[in-house]
Protein backbone atom coordinates (compact mmCIF):
# COMPACT_ATOMS: atom_id res chain seq x y z
CA UNK A 1 0.00 0.00 0.00
CA UNK A 2 1.38 3.39 -0.92
CA UNK A 3 1.57 6.24 1.55
CA UNK A 4 -1.14 8.03 -0.45
CA UNK A 5 -3.49 5.08 -0.06
CA UNK A 6 -2.77 4.84 3.62
CA UNK A 7 -3.46 8.51 4.01
CA UNK A 8 -6.73 8.35 2.13
CA UNK A 9 -8.04 5.66 4.46
CA UNK A 10 -7.27 7.31 7.76
CA UNK A 11 -6.45 10.98 7.17
CA UNK A 12 -3.14 12.77 6.70
CA UNK A 13 -0.71 14.89 8.66
CA UNK A 14 -1.30 18.61 8.12
CA UNK A 15 1.50 20.85 6.80
CA UNK A 16 1.08 23.73 9.23
CA UNK A 17 4.52 24.27 10.82
CA UNK A 18 6.84 27.13 9.86
CA UNK A 19 10.61 27.44 10.25
CA UNK A 20 10.20 29.28 13.56
CA UNK A 21 7.82 26.55 14.79
CA UNK A 22 10.49 23.94 14.07
CA UNK A 23 13.18 25.89 15.94
CA UNK A 24 10.83 26.34 18.86
CA UNK A 25 9.98 22.62 18.83
CA UNK A 26 13.67 21.67 18.80
CA UNK A 27 14.56 24.00 21.67
CA UNK A 28 11.63 22.75 23.73
CA UNK A 29 12.56 19.08 23.31
CA UNK A 30 16.20 19.87 24.18
CA UNK A 31 15.28 22.60 26.72
CA UNK A 32 17.57 25.64 27.32
CA UNK A 33 17.92 24.37 30.90
CA UNK A 34 19.20 20.94 29.82
CA UNK A 35 22.53 21.43 31.63
CA UNK A 36 20.84 21.88 35.02
CA UNK A 37 20.27 18.22 35.98
CA UNK A 38 23.56 16.90 34.55
CA UNK A 39 26.07 19.65 35.42
CA UNK A 40 27.45 18.03 38.57
CA UNK A 41 27.53 14.60 36.96
CA UNK A 42 29.54 15.90 33.99
CA UNK A 43 31.97 17.77 36.25
CA UNK A 44 32.72 14.59 38.19
CA UNK A 45 32.96 12.38 35.10
CA UNK A 46 35.28 14.78 33.21
CA UNK A 47 37.38 15.72 36.27
CA UNK A 48 36.19 19.32 36.23
CA UNK A 49 35.85 19.89 32.48
CA UNK A 50 32.11 20.31 31.98
CA UNK A 51 32.52 23.31 29.64
CA UNK A 52 35.10 21.52 27.49
CA UNK A 53 32.89 18.41 27.46
CA UNK A 54 30.09 20.48 25.95
CA UNK A 55 32.42 21.79 23.24
CA UNK A 56 33.45 18.22 22.32
CA UNK A 57 29.81 17.15 22.31
CA UNK A 58 28.96 20.13 20.11
CA UNK A 59 31.48 19.03 17.47
CA UNK A 60 29.93 15.58 17.27
CA UNK A 61 26.42 16.98 17.18
CA UNK A 62 27.10 19.64 14.52
CA UNK A 63 28.61 17.13 12.09
CA UNK A 64 25.64 14.85 12.70
CA UNK A 65 23.16 17.73 12.53
CA UNK A 66 24.58 18.63 9.11
CA UNK A 67 23.97 15.04 8.01
CA UNK A 68 20.36 15.19 9.19
CA UNK A 69 19.95 18.47 7.33
CA UNK A 70 21.16 16.94 4.06
CA UNK A 71 19.10 13.77 4.39
CA UNK A 72 15.93 15.67 5.33
CA UNK A 73 16.25 17.60 2.06
CA UNK A 74 16.57 14.35 0.10
CA UNK A 75 13.83 12.46 1.95
CA UNK A 76 11.38 14.88 3.65
CA UNK A 77 9.34 12.19 5.40
CA UNK A 78 8.14 11.52 8.94
CA UNK A 79 10.33 8.43 9.39
CA UNK A 80 13.54 10.47 9.88
CA UNK A 81 16.49 8.23 10.84
CA UNK A 82 14.66 5.09 9.77
CA UNK A 83 13.79 6.56 6.35
CA UNK A 84 17.29 7.88 5.68
CA UNK A 85 19.01 4.56 6.44
CA UNK A 86 16.32 2.58 4.62
CA UNK A 87 16.58 4.63 1.44
CA UNK A 88 20.38 4.98 1.45
CA UNK A 89 21.73 1.77 2.98
CA UNK A 90 19.12 -1.00 2.88
CA UNK A 91 15.65 -1.85 4.13
CA UNK A 92 17.00 -4.08 6.88
CA UNK A 93 19.56 -1.55 8.11
CA UNK A 94 16.83 1.06 7.95
CA UNK A 95 14.65 -1.08 10.19
CA UNK A 96 17.48 -1.50 12.71
CA UNK A 97 18.14 2.26 12.64
CA UNK A 98 14.48 2.87 13.34
CA UNK A 99 14.47 0.21 16.03
CA UNK A 100 17.43 1.90 17.76
CA UNK A 101 15.70 5.28 17.57
CA UNK A 102 12.47 3.80 18.95
CA UNK A 103 14.48 3.15 22.10
CA UNK A 104 15.72 6.75 21.97
CA UNK A 105 12.33 8.31 21.34
CA UNK A 106 10.67 6.13 23.95
CA UNK A 107 13.20 7.03 26.63
CA UNK A 108 13.09 10.81 26.02
CA UNK A 109 9.45 11.23 27.08
CA UNK A 110 9.80 8.53 29.74
CA UNK A 111 12.79 10.23 31.37
CA UNK A 112 11.06 13.57 30.97
CA UNK A 113 8.04 12.26 32.88
CA UNK A 114 10.07 10.51 35.59
CA UNK A 115 12.23 13.56 36.45
CA UNK A 116 9.27 15.98 36.93
CA UNK A 117 7.47 13.31 38.96
CA UNK A 118 10.51 12.98 41.24
CA UNK A 119 10.73 16.77 41.50
CA UNK A 120 7.02 17.16 42.28
CA UNK A 121 7.19 14.40 44.88
CA UNK A 122 10.11 16.24 46.52
CA UNK A 123 8.19 19.53 46.55
CA UNK A 124 4.96 17.96 47.85
CA UNK A 125 6.02 14.82 49.76
CA UNK A 126 2.44 14.18 50.88
CA UNK A 127 1.54 13.26 47.29
CA UNK A 128 3.17 9.98 46.14
CA UNK A 129 5.50 9.76 43.14
CA UNK A 130 3.25 7.33 41.26
CA UNK A 131 0.38 9.83 41.33
CA UNK A 132 2.52 12.36 39.47
CA UNK A 133 3.56 9.72 36.92
CA UNK A 134 -0.11 9.11 36.10
CA UNK A 135 -0.99 12.82 35.92
CA UNK A 136 1.95 13.83 33.74
CA UNK A 137 1.62 10.85 31.37
CA UNK A 138 -2.09 11.54 30.81
CA UNK A 139 -1.49 15.29 30.41
CA UNK A 140 1.10 15.12 27.65
CA UNK A 141 -0.84 12.40 25.81
CA UNK A 142 -4.05 14.45 25.86
CA UNK A 143 -2.28 17.54 24.50
CA UNK A 144 -0.54 15.66 21.69
CA UNK A 145 -3.71 13.89 20.56
CA UNK A 146 -5.36 17.28 19.98
CA UNK A 147 -2.93 18.15 17.19
CA UNK A 148 0.49 19.60 16.42
CA UNK A 149 -0.68 23.23 16.73
CA UNK A 150 -1.91 22.58 20.27
CA UNK A 151 1.51 21.14 21.08
CA UNK A 152 3.18 24.19 19.52
CA UNK A 153 1.10 26.59 21.65
CA UNK A 154 2.01 24.78 24.87
CA UNK A 155 5.63 24.63 23.77
CA UNK A 156 5.81 28.40 23.36
CA UNK A 157 4.68 28.95 26.93
CA UNK A 158 7.12 26.40 28.34
CA UNK A 159 10.01 27.76 26.27
CA UNK A 160 9.30 31.26 27.61
CA UNK A 161 9.54 29.99 31.19
CA UNK A 162 12.81 28.16 30.52
CA UNK A 163 14.32 31.12 28.65
CA UNK A 164 13.54 33.47 31.55
CA UNK A 165 15.20 31.00 33.89
CA UNK A 166 18.34 30.81 31.75
CA UNK A 167 18.68 34.60 31.57
CA UNK A 168 18.06 34.87 35.32
CA UNK A 169 20.65 32.20 36.16
CA UNK A 170 23.27 33.84 33.92
CA UNK A 171 22.56 37.32 35.30
CA UNK A 172 22.72 36.28 38.95
CA UNK A 173 25.88 34.22 38.36
CA UNK A 174 27.64 37.16 36.69
CA UNK A 175 26.56 39.42 39.56
CA UNK A 176 27.86 36.88 42.10
CA UNK A 177 31.28 36.72 40.44
CA UNK A 178 31.54 40.51 39.95
CA UNK A 179 30.80 41.21 43.61
CA UNK A 180 33.49 38.81 44.81
CA UNK A 181 36.22 38.92 42.16
CA UNK A 182 35.50 41.85 39.88
CA UNK A 183 35.42 41.76 36.08
CA UNK A 184 38.61 39.68 35.92
CA UNK A 185 36.83 36.86 37.66
CA UNK A 186 34.62 36.32 34.60
CA UNK A 187 37.61 35.23 32.53
CA UNK A 188 39.03 32.06 34.00
CA UNK A 189 40.84 29.69 31.56
CA UNK A 190 40.91 26.99 34.23
CA UNK A 191 37.13 26.76 34.07
CA UNK A 192 37.49 25.55 30.49
CA UNK A 193 40.81 23.63 30.50
CA UNK A 194 42.84 22.55 33.53
CA UNK A 195 45.99 20.81 32.23
CA UNK A 196 46.66 19.21 35.62
CA UNK A 197 43.45 17.15 35.55
CA UNK A 198 42.69 16.86 31.83
CA UNK A 199 42.50 13.23 30.66
CA UNK A 200 41.17 11.93 27.36
CA UNK A 201 38.92 9.11 28.59
CA UNK A 202 37.18 11.11 31.35
CA UNK A 203 36.70 13.97 28.89
CA UNK A 204 34.99 11.63 26.41
CA UNK A 205 32.83 10.25 29.20
CA UNK A 206 31.86 13.79 30.14
CA UNK A 207 31.12 14.57 26.49
CA UNK A 208 28.95 11.48 26.26
CA UNK A 209 26.87 12.68 29.19
CA UNK A 210 26.82 16.24 27.81
CA UNK A 211 25.24 14.99 24.61
CA UNK A 212 22.11 14.27 26.66
CA UNK A 213 21.54 18.01 26.31
CA UNK A 214 21.47 17.57 22.51
CA UNK A 215 19.74 14.24 22.11
CA UNK A 216 16.37 14.86 20.56
CA UNK A 217 17.45 17.50 18.01
CA UNK A 218 16.90 14.89 15.31
CA UNK A 219 13.22 14.77 16.28
CA UNK A 220 12.80 17.98 14.27
CA UNK A 221 13.21 15.85 11.15
CA UNK A 222 10.27 13.64 12.17
CA UNK A 223 8.00 16.65 11.53
CA UNK A 224 8.79 16.74 7.81
CA UNK A 225 5.18 15.94 6.90
CA UNK A 226 3.84 18.51 9.38
CA UNK A 227 6.01 21.25 7.81
CA UNK A 228 5.14 23.61 4.96
CA UNK A 229 8.62 23.62 3.35
CA UNK A 230 10.44 20.56 4.73
CA UNK A 231 13.22 20.53 2.12
CA UNK A 232 14.40 24.01 3.19
CA UNK A 233 13.26 24.45 6.77
CA UNK A 234 14.06 21.11 8.46
CA UNK A 235 17.81 21.30 7.92
CA UNK A 236 18.02 24.99 8.79
CA UNK A 237 16.10 24.47 12.02
CA UNK A 238 18.26 21.51 13.09
CA UNK A 239 21.52 23.47 12.73
CA UNK A 240 20.14 26.56 14.49
CA UNK A 241 18.76 24.47 17.37
CA UNK A 242 22.15 22.79 17.97
CA UNK A 243 24.01 26.11 17.93
CA UNK A 244 21.57 27.81 20.29
CA UNK A 245 21.64 24.82 22.63
CA UNK A 246 25.44 25.05 22.81
CA UNK A 247 25.23 28.73 23.79
CA UNK A 248 22.69 28.00 26.55
CA UNK A 249 24.56 25.02 28.00
CA UNK A 250 28.06 26.45 27.73
CA UNK A 251 27.06 29.69 29.46
CA UNK A 252 25.37 27.72 32.24
CA UNK A 253 28.20 25.31 33.04
CA UNK A 254 30.99 27.89 32.66
CA UNK A 255 29.32 30.32 35.06
CA UNK A 256 28.39 27.52 37.44
CA UNK A 257 32.07 26.62 37.67
CA UNK A 258 32.99 30.26 38.39
CA UNK A 259 30.43 30.43 41.17
CA UNK A 260 31.54 27.12 42.74
CA UNK A 261 35.18 26.51 41.64
CA UNK A 262 35.73 23.26 43.57
CA UNK A 263 33.24 20.84 42.05
CA UNK A 264 34.39 18.13 44.47
CA UNK A 265 32.91 20.06 47.39
CA UNK A 266 29.39 20.03 45.94
CA UNK A 267 27.06 18.21 48.40
CA UNK A 268 25.45 16.04 45.71
CA UNK A 269 26.35 15.91 42.02
CA UNK A 270 22.80 15.11 40.84
CA UNK A 271 21.41 18.31 42.41
CA UNK A 272 24.50 20.51 42.09
CA UNK A 273 22.65 23.21 40.17
CA UNK A 274 20.23 23.66 43.08
CA UNK A 275 23.11 24.32 45.49
CA UNK A 276 24.63 26.81 43.04
CA UNK A 277 21.24 28.48 42.62
CA UNK A 278 21.00 28.90 46.39
CA UNK A 279 24.44 30.48 46.41
CA UNK A 280 23.62 33.09 43.78
CA UNK A 281 20.00 33.86 44.75
CA UNK A 282 19.05 32.30 48.04
CA UNK A 283 16.01 30.16 48.81
CA UNK A 284 13.71 31.86 46.27
CA UNK A 285 16.12 30.99 43.43
CA UNK A 286 16.30 27.42 44.73
CA UNK A 287 12.50 27.21 44.52
CA UNK A 288 12.37 28.83 41.09
CA UNK A 289 14.95 26.46 39.58
CA UNK A 290 13.09 23.50 41.04
CA UNK A 291 9.90 24.73 39.36
CA UNK A 292 11.73 25.27 36.08
CA UNK A 293 13.11 21.73 36.17
CA UNK A 294 9.52 20.57 36.47
CA UNK A 295 8.44 22.64 33.46
CA UNK A 296 11.48 21.58 31.41
CA UNK A 297 10.77 17.91 32.01
CA UNK A 298 7.16 18.24 30.93
CA UNK A 299 8.16 20.25 27.86
CA UNK A 300 10.66 17.62 26.78
CA UNK A 301 8.15 14.84 27.43
CA UNK A 302 5.52 16.64 25.37
CA UNK A 303 7.71 17.18 22.32
CA UNK A 304 9.52 13.84 22.72
CA UNK A 305 6.22 12.01 22.44
CA UNK A 306 5.52 13.88 19.19
CA UNK A 307 8.79 12.69 17.65
CA UNK A 308 8.25 9.13 18.82
CA UNK A 309 4.75 8.94 17.37
CA UNK A 310 5.94 10.29 13.98
CA UNK A 311 8.78 7.75 13.83
CA UNK A 312 6.37 4.91 14.59
CA UNK A 313 3.93 6.29 12.03
CA UNK A 314 6.64 6.38 9.34
CA UNK A 315 7.63 2.77 10.04
CA UNK A 316 3.99 1.68 10.23
CA UNK A 317 3.05 3.36 6.97
CA UNK A 318 5.88 1.49 5.24
CA UNK A 319 4.69 -1.78 6.75
CA UNK A 320 7.82 -2.69 8.72
CA UNK A 321 5.64 -2.30 11.82
CA UNK A 322 1.93 -3.33 11.77
CA UNK A 323 0.36 -0.80 9.41
CA UNK A 324 -3.21 -0.91 10.67
CA UNK A 325 -2.09 0.27 14.09
CA UNK A 326 1.00 2.43 13.57
CA UNK A 327 0.12 3.81 10.13
CA UNK A 328 -3.20 5.24 11.29
CA UNK A 329 -3.89 9.01 11.22
CA UNK A 330 -6.94 10.28 13.06
CA UNK A 331 -9.09 12.16 10.50
CA UNK A 332 -10.36 14.65 13.10
CA UNK A 333 -7.07 15.69 14.69
CA UNK A 334 -4.64 14.76 11.88
CA UNK A 335 -2.38 13.03 14.39
CA UNK A 336 -1.19 9.39 14.70
CA UNK A 337 -3.38 8.89 17.75
CA UNK A 338 -2.78 5.16 18.15
CA UNK A 339 0.98 5.64 18.28
CA UNK A 340 0.50 8.55 20.72
CA UNK A 341 -1.71 6.45 23.00
CA UNK A 342 0.86 3.64 22.91
CA UNK A 343 3.66 6.03 23.89
CA UNK A 344 1.52 7.45 26.69
CA UNK A 345 0.83 3.96 28.00
CA UNK A 346 4.49 2.98 27.86
CA UNK A 347 5.48 6.15 29.73
CA UNK A 348 2.89 5.33 32.38
CA UNK A 349 4.08 1.75 32.83
CA UNK A 350 7.76 2.62 32.50
CA UNK A 351 7.46 5.29 35.18
CA UNK A 352 6.40 2.63 37.68
CA UNK A 353 9.46 0.44 37.20
CA UNK A 354 12.13 2.71 35.66
CA UNK A 355 15.68 2.98 36.98
CA UNK A 356 16.59 6.58 36.15
CA UNK A 357 20.37 6.09 35.82
CA UNK A 358 20.12 3.07 33.51
CA UNK A 359 17.51 4.83 31.35
CA UNK A 360 19.89 7.76 30.84
CA UNK A 361 22.65 5.40 29.72
CA UNK A 362 20.35 3.47 27.36
CA UNK A 363 19.17 6.73 25.80
CA UNK A 364 22.69 7.46 24.62
CA UNK A 365 23.06 3.96 23.18
CA UNK A 366 20.05 4.22 20.90
CA UNK A 367 20.81 7.78 19.87
CA UNK A 368 24.39 7.11 18.81
CA UNK A 369 23.49 4.02 16.80
CA UNK A 370 21.04 6.19 14.88
CA UNK A 371 23.50 9.08 14.52
CA UNK A 372 26.24 6.84 13.13
CA UNK A 373 23.88 5.32 10.56
CA UNK A 374 22.62 8.73 9.41
CA UNK A 375 26.19 9.91 8.84
CA UNK A 376 26.88 6.76 6.83
CA UNK A 377 23.65 7.36 4.89
CA UNK A 378 24.98 10.73 3.72
CA UNK A 379 28.16 9.10 2.44
CA UNK A 380 26.19 6.42 0.58
CA UNK A 381 23.52 8.70 -0.87
CA UNK A 382 25.52 11.82 -1.70
CA UNK A 383 29.06 10.45 -1.83
CA UNK A 384 28.51 7.32 -3.93
CA UNK A 385 25.28 8.03 -5.77
CA UNK A 386 25.20 11.75 -6.57
CA UNK A 387 28.41 11.86 -8.58
CA UNK A 388 29.20 15.40 -7.42
CA UNK A 389 32.61 17.01 -7.67
CA UNK A 390 34.61 19.80 -6.10
CA UNK A 391 35.79 20.74 -2.64
CA UNK A 392 32.29 21.47 -1.35
CA UNK A 393 31.08 18.02 -2.42
CA UNK A 394 33.98 16.26 -0.73
CA UNK A 395 33.51 18.20 2.49
CA UNK A 396 29.74 17.79 2.82
CA UNK A 397 29.39 14.30 1.31
CA UNK A 398 32.50 12.59 2.64
CA UNK A 399 34.61 14.47 5.21
CA UNK A 400 31.92 15.95 7.49
CA UNK A 401 29.72 12.82 7.76
CA UNK A 402 32.81 10.62 8.22
CA UNK A 403 34.01 12.84 11.07
CA UNK A 404 30.52 12.82 12.55
CA UNK A 405 30.39 9.02 12.46
CA UNK A 406 33.90 8.67 13.96
CA UNK A 407 33.30 11.11 16.82
CA UNK A 408 29.90 9.55 17.59
CA UNK A 409 31.47 6.10 17.56
CA UNK A 410 34.21 7.07 20.03
CA UNK A 411 31.71 8.68 22.38
CA UNK A 412 29.50 5.59 22.03
CA UNK A 413 32.46 3.43 23.11
CA UNK A 414 32.72 5.47 26.33
CA UNK A 415 29.27 4.33 27.49
CA UNK A 416 29.12 2.06 30.51
CA UNK A 417 28.94 -1.71 30.20
CA UNK A 418 25.43 -1.67 31.68
CA UNK A 419 24.26 0.67 28.92
CA UNK A 420 25.84 -1.51 26.23
CA UNK A 421 24.34 -4.73 27.62
CA UNK A 422 20.86 -3.21 27.81
CA UNK A 423 21.25 -1.56 24.40
CA UNK A 424 22.47 -4.70 22.65
CA UNK A 425 19.63 -6.60 24.29
CA UNK A 426 17.16 -4.19 22.70
CA UNK A 427 18.87 -4.49 19.31
CA UNK A 428 18.79 -8.30 19.60
CA UNK A 429 15.02 -8.12 20.01
CA UNK A 430 14.89 -6.02 16.85
CA UNK A 431 16.95 -8.54 14.90
CA UNK A 432 14.68 -11.36 16.15
CA UNK A 433 11.55 -9.44 15.11
CA UNK A 434 13.06 -8.72 11.69
CA UNK A 435 14.06 -12.35 11.22
CA UNK A 436 10.51 -13.51 12.00
CA UNK A 437 8.74 -10.96 9.80
CA UNK A 438 11.07 -11.53 6.84
CA UNK A 439 11.08 -15.34 7.08
CA UNK A 440 14.73 -15.56 7.97
CA UNK A 441 15.71 -12.34 6.13
CA UNK A 442 14.54 -13.79 2.81
CA UNK A 443 11.68 -11.37 2.17
CA UNK A 444 11.27 -7.61 2.34
CA UNK A 445 9.32 -6.64 5.48
CA UNK A 446 7.28 -4.16 3.43
CA UNK A 447 6.44 -6.86 0.85
CA UNK A 448 5.17 -9.22 3.55
CA UNK A 449 2.96 -6.53 5.04
CA UNK A 450 1.53 -5.57 1.65
CA UNK A 451 0.56 -9.18 0.93
CA UNK A 452 -1.04 -9.47 4.35
CA UNK A 453 -3.06 -6.30 3.71
CA UNK A 454 -4.25 -7.71 0.37
CA UNK A 455 -5.26 -11.02 1.97
CA UNK A 456 -2.64 -13.10 0.10
CA UNK A 457 -0.26 -15.70 1.39
CA UNK A 458 3.41 -14.63 1.35
User: What are the CA-CA distances from residue 148 to residues 135, 225, 295, 334 (Å)?
Assistant: 21, 11, 19, 8
- The reported pLDDT for the residue numbered 448 is 43
Q: What is the CA radius of gyration of the chain?
A: 22
Contact by Cβ (8 Å): 226, 17: yes
**3-state SS, residue 76:** coil
Single out the residue of 332, 297, 301 nearest to residue 138, CA to CA: 301
Contact by Cβ (8 Å): 215, 38: no
- What does the mean pLDDT of the chain come to? 82
Domain boundaries, the chain: 3-453
Which own/partner pairs from 259-267 qualify as long-range (CB within 8 Å, at least 24 positions apart)? 259/173, 259/176, 259/177, 261/191, 263/40, 263/43, 263/44, 263/48, 263/50, 264/44, 266/40, 266/43
- The reported pLDDT for the residue numbered 169 is 94
**Per residue of the chain (458 residues), what is the pLDDT tens digit?**
334 444 434 566 677 788 888 888 888 778 888 898 889 889 988 998 999 999 988 887 889 998 998 888 888 876 678 888 888 988 888 888 888 887 877 787 887 788 778 777 777 888 888 898 888 888 888 887 876 666 677 777 888 888 888 899 999 999 999 999 988 889 888 888 888 888 888 888 888 888 878 877 877 887 888 888 888 888 899 999 999 999 999 999 999 999 999 888 888 776 788 889 999 998 888 888 888 888 887 777 777 787 778 778 888 887 778 888 888 888 887 788 888 888 888 888 887 776 666 676 677 788 888 889 999 999 999 988 776 677 888 888 889 999 989 888 887 887 778 888 888 998 999 899 888 888 777 776 654 444 344 444 43
- The reported pLDDT for the residue numbered 9 is 45
CATH code reported for the domain at 3-453: 1.20.1740.10
Question: In whole angstroms, what is the distance from residue 316 CA to residue 324 CA?
Answer: 8
Question: In whole angstroms, what is the distance from residue 119 CA to residue 130 CA?
Answer: 12
Contact by Cβ (8 Å): 397, 378: yes
> DSSP characters for 93-147?
HHHHHHHHHHHHHHHHHHHHHHHHHHHHHHH-TTS-HHHHHHHHHHHHHHHHHT-
How do the residues of the chain divide into helix, strand and coil, expressed in percent and rounded to 5? 80, 0, 20
Question: In whole angstroms, what is the distance from residue 298 CA to residue 293 CA?
Answer: 9
Degrees (nearest 5) of the Cα angle 92, 95, 97? Answer: 110
> DSSP characters for 345-399?
HHHHHHHHH--HHHHHHHHHHHHHHHHHHHHHHHIIIIIIIS---SHHHHIIIII
Question: In whole angstroms, what is the distance from residue 360 CA to residue 2 CA?
Answer: 37
Contacts of 455 (CB under 8 A, 6+ apart): none
Contact by Cβ (8 Å): 141, 305: yes
- The reported pLDDT for the residue numbered 10 is 52
Residue 17 has phi, psi (to 5 degrees) of: -90, 140
Question: In whole angstroms, what is the distance from residue 182 CA to residue 99 CA?
Answer: 52
**3-state SS, residue 227:** strand
Quickly list H helices, 182-217: 200-210
Amino acid sequence: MSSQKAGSESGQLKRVLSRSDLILYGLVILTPTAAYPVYGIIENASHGHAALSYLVAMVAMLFTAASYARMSAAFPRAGSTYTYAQQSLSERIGFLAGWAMILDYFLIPLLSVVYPALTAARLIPQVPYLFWIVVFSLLITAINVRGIKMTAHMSRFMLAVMSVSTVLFVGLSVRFVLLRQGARGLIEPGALVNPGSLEFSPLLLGAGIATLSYIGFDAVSTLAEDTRRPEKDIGFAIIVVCLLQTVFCLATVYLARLVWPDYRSLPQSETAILDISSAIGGSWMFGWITFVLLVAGLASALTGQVGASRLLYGMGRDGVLPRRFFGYINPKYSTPTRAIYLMGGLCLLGGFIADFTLLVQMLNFGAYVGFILVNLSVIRHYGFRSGGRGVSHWLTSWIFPALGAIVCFYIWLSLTNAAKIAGFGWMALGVLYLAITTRGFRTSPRRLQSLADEGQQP
